[in-house]
Structure 1
Amino acid sequence: MTTATETTGVFKVYIRATPEAIWNAITDPEWSVKYGYGGYVSYDLKPGGAYAVRPDEQMLAAGKEMGFPIPDVIVDGEVIEANPYTLLKQSWRMIMDETTFSEGFTTLTYEIEQLSAGYCSLTLIHECPAHPATLRMVSGLNEAPPDQGGGGWPWVLSDLKSLLETGSRM
C-alpha cells in the first residue's frame, strides 16, 4: 500500500520475517547495501544520534560513468527515537541531489509490527512538509526507471521484502 498527501508519503509492506530481521536490515550496513539503491547505513541509535548513508562501490562506479559526482555521504540525519524491533524515527536529508538538499531535513519513521507467526508489517512514513521535490522522489513519482532512482520507497521496500523472504533481490 502506498498513499501520499501533499506533505506525507505512507508506504506499507508485509514481510515474512521477524521484527529483528527487519530491524537489522534497516539499521545494519551489511544489510542496507544489499537492497534498494544500496549504500552503507550508519546509525547511532539514541535520540540525537547521527545517521548517515555512504555510497557503495556500485553507486560510485555508476556516478563516475554518468559523470555525476557522488559525495562521501549521500543521505544524513539524526535519530529522534529508537525502540529496537518496533520503531525508528529520524530526520532525513538527501545530500547528493541539489534540489532535495536545499529543501532540508524531513522526518522518516519506520514502524514494525508483528502480525502473526512469521509475518510483520513494515510501515514507512515520510513527512515532507514544504519539501515537494523530496516527496516526489521518495514516492517514486519522478521519471527515472525504478532501479535507477525513480522507484523511491516503494522500490526500496519491495526489494527489502524480496531479500528477506527469498535471500535474493528483485
Structure 2
Amino acid sequence: MTGNQPAATTQVFRVYIKASPEQVWEAITKPEWTDRYGYGGLTDYDLTPGAPYATRPSRAMVEGAAAQGMPVPDVIIDGEVVEADPPRRLVLTWRMLMDPGLKAEGFTRLSYDLVEKDGSTRLTVTHELTGAPQLAELVSGRLDDEAMGGGGGWSWVLSDLKSLLETGKTLAQ
C-alpha cells in the first residue's frame, strides 16, 4: 500500500509471543490486562456468543484526553461476542466510538486466533473492515507518523502485548 491507495478491507496481523495460549487469552480478555498494553482501556467480556461487551477508558486515558481538550466517551469500543473458544479463538463485532465518523461506519468483525507453537503462541488478528474506510486506515497503522498521530494500529498493539507478556514491560516503559 503506497500513495493514496485505501487501506485493505481485510487486514491480518500475526505475532509470535513467548507465552502460553492461556496467558495470551487472559491478556486479551481480562480488563486487568487490557488496560496495560496498546491504547489501554478496560474491556469486560461475557464470553457467551451473542453477549455484548464494552471497552471503557481508563482514568489515565480520560485525564490525558482532557489535558488535550478532547472528551472521551464512557465507552470507547463496543460490540458483541460472536464466537469464543478459550484459549483458541475469539470472534467479535467491533465498533470504535471515540469519533463520530468512526462510530457511523458501524460494526466490523474482529477475530483472534491463538495456536501453541513450540512453547510460544502464534496470535493472528484478522480485522474485516468492509464499509469502514476510516477505521481501516486507522487500524492499519499507516497514520503512525501523521502530525495528529493515529498510532501504529494493530501492529503496535500486538507488539506492545508481546513486549508486556515477554518482559513484563510495555514498549513505552
What TM-score do the two structures reach when normalised by structure 1? 0.92
What TM-score do the two structures reach when normalised by structure 2? 0.91
Residue 121 of structure 2: aligned partner: 120
- Equivalent of residue 91 in structure 1, options 80, 87, 93: 93
Map Cα deviations across residues 104-142 of structure 1 (whole Å, 9 max, x no partner). Answer: 0000000000011x2110000000001110111111112
Residue 34 of structure 1: aligned partner: 36
Matched position secondary structure for 2:15? strand
Residue 169 of structure 1: aligned partner: 170
Matched position secondary structure for 1:168? coil
- How far is the alpha carbon of 1:6 from its aligned partner? 2.8
Structure 1 runs (4+) greater than 2 angstroms displaced: none
Residue 64 of structure 1: aligned partner: 66
- Number of aligned residue pairs: 164
Residue 139 of structure 1: aligned partner: 140
Quick one: distance in 1 between partners of 2:84 and 2:93? 12
- How far is the alpha carbon of 1:58 from its aligned partner? 1.1
Matched position secondary structure for 2:36? coil
Matched position secondary structure for 2:11? strand
Query: How big is the alpha-carbon RMSD for the aligned residues of Structure 1 and Structure 2?
Result: 1.4
Matched, 1:151 2:152: yes
Gap change, CA 1:149 and 1:30, over 3 Å in 2: farther
Q: Aligned residues: percent identity? A: 51
Quick one: distance in 2 between partners of 1:103 and 1:97? 10
Q: Structure 2, unaligned stretches of length 5 or more?
A: 1-5
Matched position secondary structure for 1:134? helix
Letter of the 2:23 partner, please give it.
A
Matched position secondary structure for 1:36? coil
Letter of the 2:156 partner, please give it.
W
The equivalences for 1:75-114 within 5 A come to 75-114=77-116
- How far is the alpha carbon of 1:44 from its aligned partner? 0.9
CA contact (8 A) 1:37 1:149 kept: no
